[in-house]
Structure formats: structure tokens, C-alpha cells
Structure 1
């Protein structure tokens, strides 16, 4: 994901395009010898460590389907969807195609909706997931894949800076008002900014959505950036830079890692980021004691969205039965257990305790409490078919807002006019 999910997109890994029957044009799903079906799994990966993790997951899945050969194709996140678009146009998607839930709406025509009978073949039940996790792979009332992970946003904080400023650290019952007060006090007493604003979609959207108590896309699936409540909350967010001065403005739209850089280098006391970075920001490698809590609540109470990615079956896949077996193996408990041990947060409810068990003793209790609070009541993040274009536009637009060149309301109105069909 552009969301920095699982840190899979760092360097280039070439994508193989002609190894599977689903992608080779033969259309039969069998190996050259005709004795065993071959199903290709396409996935994003940006470095050797990430690819090694995928290979470990594939090994767990392969053991469950000895009559099917699984082949892994990888591409870095930055290239994955570009290549996906090209193979989709040619009708040669890999049978098992990995899909970011927030981009699903643009690819449903290339994926096969899963029926209850399909789930039986895959050995998966809807009750294996909470509704928020499963909904990231749903669109228009249809299920287009099975999630392998689930995520939401957390507030991460530098406990050392809170102590230096004489401010009590955040809790899972914190409010927006308490967040603002802490950011102001830390900035005044330590000279370090209390918070780092972001250019990334969910990292910047989440706090205004929490304050407003609503998403940037309404329940009808329409872009709703000019909803008065959302505009007011977004103006408050940009005001952390332009008004309260508790955040610094990113110098350019290319600073996609601005907020984590500020946090990790001790230049900001708090940031918002995904659960996928929880062990990173609270780990021993940080130069300070890090902590995490759920998002501060707005007037309407706690608010959160469920994010995630999963695997779908390509509409052009000639061997759907074999693909369903592989899908079930990749998304099932055996492979989910591997993901948990690797530090990922599994989508299946039964595998999530394994994630907590694998946490370091010194952060286990705090992170367990934060995760459970953050996911409690979280609803699926809603997007529109134009969402990728919208998020691509965010960085440049936000820099103009943070530097005072453009009011937040004007930015939101412009995007609504461009993309709010």
C-alpha cells in the first residue's frame, strides 16, 4: 500500500509475467508436463527481507496444497499497480492477484466475486473475520477476495518528550482536546513540535475524520470532502501548522516520509501511523521510549477505520478450483500464523492472538490494549473509483495548505469538483 503497510515497498524487484497458465495465455492452469496445476500468486515486495517473508508464507500454503504448484511474482509497491493495469488490459492477470482494499473498487472487473460455495472450496468461513476486516475486500455488496491482514491507525508518542514537558502520556480514552493541549504544552516547554502532520492519505485524513466523526466518502460511496463538518475538522488539522504552530510544514510534496522522519529523529512528539508500524515505533531501536494508543476521540466519540489487503482470483483464471485451494491456503490459519510471527497483524480472528504472543515483553501489554481499543468498532475505509487519483493529488495540495498558500477549504473544494462525480 501507499500506506507504507508492512514496509514492503523499498527497492525494485522485477515482476515475472509469463510463468503461470493464468498469465501465459495457455489458459489451462496445468504445468508443461500436464501432471500438476500451476497457480501464480502476484504480490508487492520491495526488498530481500520482504520477499523472504512472502516465500515463508508461500511455503506454509504450499504444504497445504501438494497437488498445486504455487509460483510467486513480485513487484515493488510503486510499480505493482502500473504493471497490474498492463496485465489487466491484456487479460493475463495472475490467478491469485494481491489487492489493496482501498484500491479494490478500480479492479473489480478483473476479479471474480466469491460465492459462499467458493468459500467452502477454499475452506474459509465469513465468521473467521470481524466484519470490518472482511469488508475491505467487498464492493457493491460482493466479496472479491480474502484479506490476509487488517490494520487501522494509531497515535504514536515519544514518552521521553512527554516526561520532559511534564505532560501525562496519552491514553486510549484521550480526546482531541487533550491531544491539542498536550501538543501545545510540549511545543512550548521543550522547543520540539508536539505533532508532525502528514502528506499521506490515511496519516492525514484520520485525525480530521476522528474529529468530525465521519469519513471523507459518505455511506452512499460518494466523495464528501466538502461536508461542512469534515471541512471544519480538516481546517483545524492544517491549523496545527498555520495557527497553533505545534507542527512544521513539510518542505515539499516529495517528502512522503516526512512525519515518521520527524518522529524517529526526535523532532516531533506525536504522529499518526498504521498498526503495521507499531513494533517499529515502540521497539528498542528507537532513540527514545515510544508508545501507542488509539486515535483521540472527537465530540461524537471514538472513531476508526479498518484498512487492509487481500487476495482475489483473476476473472481470466482458467483453473478456478485450483486457485480457490491456493486462496484458502494463503488466507487460512496456517499462513496467518506465519504472518503473525513475522510481525504482521492477521485478518483472521483466530490468528490474532499469535501476533500478541510474539510481541516483546516490554511493549506487549501496551500494544495489545492499544490494538484492541483501536479496532473496536472500526468500520471499513470507504473510497471511490477515483481514489488513487485523489491520493496522488494530496501531497502537492497539502504542501500548499501547510505553507499558507491555499486555504484548506479551497483545496477540498477543488478536489471535490475534480473527482466528486
Structure 2
């Protein structure tokens, strides 16, 4: 699951809606075709960053035809950073695929363009959290293939050298603050800050339960809990316990500074467990996020596959999605180490893949997976508004000003709220 980069273009969503509505009667060419023998070919759009990833997706497409010989899948791919730009353009032109790959943080922008799958597909075997992150307005808009939570990544060597107890389940915000201060020495910082949504907002959520979006998906950046949480978060920099991103374009700042050995802790997603263990020049540890008064909390995210409105073969598309997210498909992807599976029975396969990749680091990997599962148990889906990518840009623009002391948390959040609401 890829969570960095990828900003939707400034195409008007209203324009997409108009075209989607025009195709709602069922275009004979948008997304699929049927040959004279009755075989249906469905277009499937998905992100892929390498030939290996495309080969994995081709394998999944083959599983669909293996189970349903009269259904073929035509895979169309784009790099992740281009995927949603391409998808939005295709919807606007009425050339959308039948099977749409979707990331939960972008679901709000596509909610009216996807067919609800409630009652059309079997959802047995999925983690409840995985289904929840792809549900909006009470409707299951996609079936999940992966699931992610946020973890505290930490430098075990640095903790040992400083004589600081390592993070563990039940570690508190106070423990985190004290460790960050003690580990900030010799030009290094205890914590690498971020303004990326999942990374910064998850730690604020754990701090006091602050949420930037209401349960009915309305922005509330200027709420008092958000002001309090951001004041605390920014205070880590003021207290010389954290590194501030160099610029608003450094979305992956905290994670990068952690891997470079400049920050001893960072918040990062479960999708980077394997790469962090492999790439770091020190021993990496993992723990749930530090607990505030309500316990340890994290936002959850995930990816999955849905069916576009206007697909001329919706029944076949639902069958294809069920196979693409089925037990065989997820077992295969887990065995390739692609992502933490949304199906509970296949999650052990993913853990074993990571262990086999680096047997010497089996202990931190198993600790990481245990932390992921703890996070899932108390996690909260981050439901987002239609203009969330614009919100993310505003967060980068104004939060860095708060971190550097150029603007107060209250003023910055009020500006984000005002500009975001106007942009909806």
C-alpha cells in the first residue's frame, strides 16, 4: 500500500459527476466488452511501480478467468503518483474502467462514482477494520485487499546507548516526550516530525482523541481538541525534542530522517516495516503509538477494488472483484510481501514472508506485526472529504509555519478550515 505523493489534479469533481451521470445508463464501450461467444472482458485500473508488481497483478487477473472462464480482465496500470490523475481524467471523459482500484483516503472523492457492493459480494473472512475503511455513508464502496495502521518506529541502538527504556505496549505520551528530549543530543533529534495526514494526525489522535473530520465527514480542523493537539505536537519542536521538516514539499521528512539516523523515532505506516528493517543501518524497533488518556490510537487506511457506475457488466465486475480480493489472491500477494492482507487468515503468511526475507531480524518483525494488530483493534478509519488532497496541501503549507513558530496553532487551523470549506 502506497501512501506518499499522489495529488489529484485540479479537475473539477463536478465535471466528473456530470460525465459519470451521463454514463450511468450503461455505456457499451466504457470499461468492458463482450465478444460473440459471450466472453466479457473487463478493464481494471491499478497502480504499479515495477514490472514485478505488474506481473503480480497479471497473476490476479488470471485467477479471475480461472474461476470464471467467460470473464477476462484487461489490466491497465499507472505509477502510483500518476494513478489518480489518470483515473479522474478517465471518469471525466466517460472512459473509466469497470474495476476501479481505490485507496481509502481518496474514497470521498469517488463515493458517487462507485457502485455499492452491499449484498452483492461475500464479505466473510475480512478484518472488520478493512471493510470499514472502504465504507462511506453506510455503503461498502470497495472490497479490501490490504490494511494499514500507523506505528512508532524507533532506533533500538540509540535507546540502548542513552539508557532509555524501549517503547512497548502501554507506553504513554509522557514516556514518549521524555525519551524524545533525552535522545535529542549531538545534533540528532528524538523525533522526526511530519505534516502528512496519517503520520501527524494519528499521533494527535492518540494524544487527546482529536479528529479533523466529524463522523458525518465534515471538516473540523478548528475544533478545540485539534488546537490542543497541534499545540502539543508543535511543542515538541519548541522543546528541542524534534526535527522540523525543511520545507512544505518534504512530505516524507520524518521517515527519511529516521532511516538516515538523524531522528531516533518516527511515526510511519505498517507498509514500510520490511523496508525499514532492511535499509536502516541500525536495529529498528516497533511499538504502538504512545497512549494518551484514551489509550493508544491510530488511524487506519487501506486499499481495495470497486465497480464503477456505468460499467456495462456490473455482475461480472462484482465477480471479478470478489476473486481479486479472495483468499487465493490475498494468499498469493502476502507470499510476495506486497501488503498486509485484509483477510485475517492470510495475515500470518505476510508475517512469515517478512521473517524469511531477513531471519536475523525476526524478533523486530514479529513485534511490528503484533503492534499492527494492536493498532487495528483500537484503530479509527480516517474518513476524508472530497477535497482531501487540497486539504493535505494546506496542511503542509500551514503546519510547517506552526512548527517553526511563525503562526499559532489556532490561527493556522482556522485558515486550513476556512480555505478547505470554501474549496468543497
TM-score over 0.5 (shorter chain): yes
Does the CA-based 8 Å contact 2:30-2:97 persist in structure 1? Answer: no
Per the alignment, residue 15 of structure 1 pairs with none
Per the alignment, residue 73 of structure 2 pairs with 70
User: Quick one: distance in 2 between partners of 1:251 and 1:396?
Assistant: 12
Correspondent of 1:258 among 249, 253, 268: 253
Per the alignment, residue 137 of structure 2 pairs with 140
Equivalences for residues 262-301 of structure 1 within 5 A: 262-283=257-278, 285-301=279-295
Correspondent of 2:40 among 37, 59, 72: 37
Does the CA-based 8 Å contact 1:176-1:297 persist in structure 2? Answer: yes
Does the CA-based 8 Å contact 2:398-2:416 persist in structure 1? Answer: no
Does the CA-based 8 Å contact 1:42-1:72 persist in structure 2? Answer: yes
SS in 2 for 1:220: coil
Question: Structure 1 residue 95 and structure 2 residue 98: aligned?
Answer: yes
User: Quick one: distance in 2 between partners of 1:206 and 1:27?
Assistant: 39
CA change 1:28–1:331 in 2 (3 A) is: closer
Does the CA-based 8 Å contact 2:32-2:43 persist in structure 1? Answer: no
SS in 1 for 2:301: strand
User: Quick one: distance in 2 between partners of 1:2 and 1:368?
Assistant: 18
Runs of 4+ in 1 over 6 A off after TM superposition: none
Per the alignment, residue 146 of structure 2 pairs with 149
Per the alignment, residue 188 of structure 2 pairs with 192
Using the size of structure 1 for normalisation, the TM-score is: 0.88
Using the size of structure 2 for normalisation, the TM-score is: 0.88
Does the CA-based 8 Å contact 1:98-1:311 persist in structure 2? Answer: yes
Does the CA-based 8 Å contact 1:184-1:246 persist in structure 2? Answer: yes
Per the alignment, residue 367 of structure 2 pairs with 366
Per the alignment, residue 344 of structure 2 pairs with 349
Correspondent of 1:55 among 31, 54, 58: 58
Question: Structure 1 residue 214 and structure 2 residue 210: aligned?
Answer: yes
CA change 1:23–1:341 in 2 (3 A) is: farther
Per the alignment, residue 394 of structure 2 pairs with 393
SS in 2 for 1:106: helix
Does the CA-based 8 Å contact 1:3-1:200 persist in structure 2? Answer: no
How far apart are 1:24 and its partner, in Å? 8.8
SS in 2 for 1:318: coil
User: Quick one: distance in 2 between partners of 1:4 and 1:279?
Assistant: 17
User: How many residues in Structure 1 have an aligned counterpart in Structure 2?
Assistant: 397
Per the alignment, residue 405 of structure 2 pairs with 404
Query: Any gaps of 5 or more consecutive residues in structure 2?
Result: 7-24
Correspondent of 2:109 among 78, 97, 106: 106
How far apart are 1:77 and its partner, in Å? 2.1
Greater Cα offset, 393-402 or 88-97: 393-402
User: Quick one: distance in 2 between partners of 1:91 and 1:34?
Assistant: 26
User: Quick one: distance in 2 between partners of 1:205 and 1:167?
Assistant: 26
Correspondent of 1:247 among 221, 242, 247: 242
SS in 2 for 1:376: helix
Correspondent of 1:84 among 78, 84, 87: 87
User: Quick one: distance in 1 between partners of 2:63 and 2:289?
Assistant: 35
CA change 1:304–1:258 in 2 (3 A) is: closer
User: Quick one: distance in 2 between partners of 1:266 and 1:173?
Assistant: 25
SS in 2 for 1:251: coil
Query: Any gaps of 5 or more consecutive residues in structure 1?
Result: 8-21
How far apart are 1:59 and its partner, in Å? 3.5
How far apart are 1:187 and its partner, in Å? 0.8
SS in 2 for 1:358: helix
User: Quick one: distance in 2 between partners of 1:144 and 1:208?
Assistant: 28
User: Quick one: distance in 2 between partners of 1:290 and 1:87?
Assistant: 42
User: Quick one: distance in 2 between partners of 1:23 and 1:272?
Assistant: 44
CA change 1:27–1:387 in 2 (3 A) is: closer
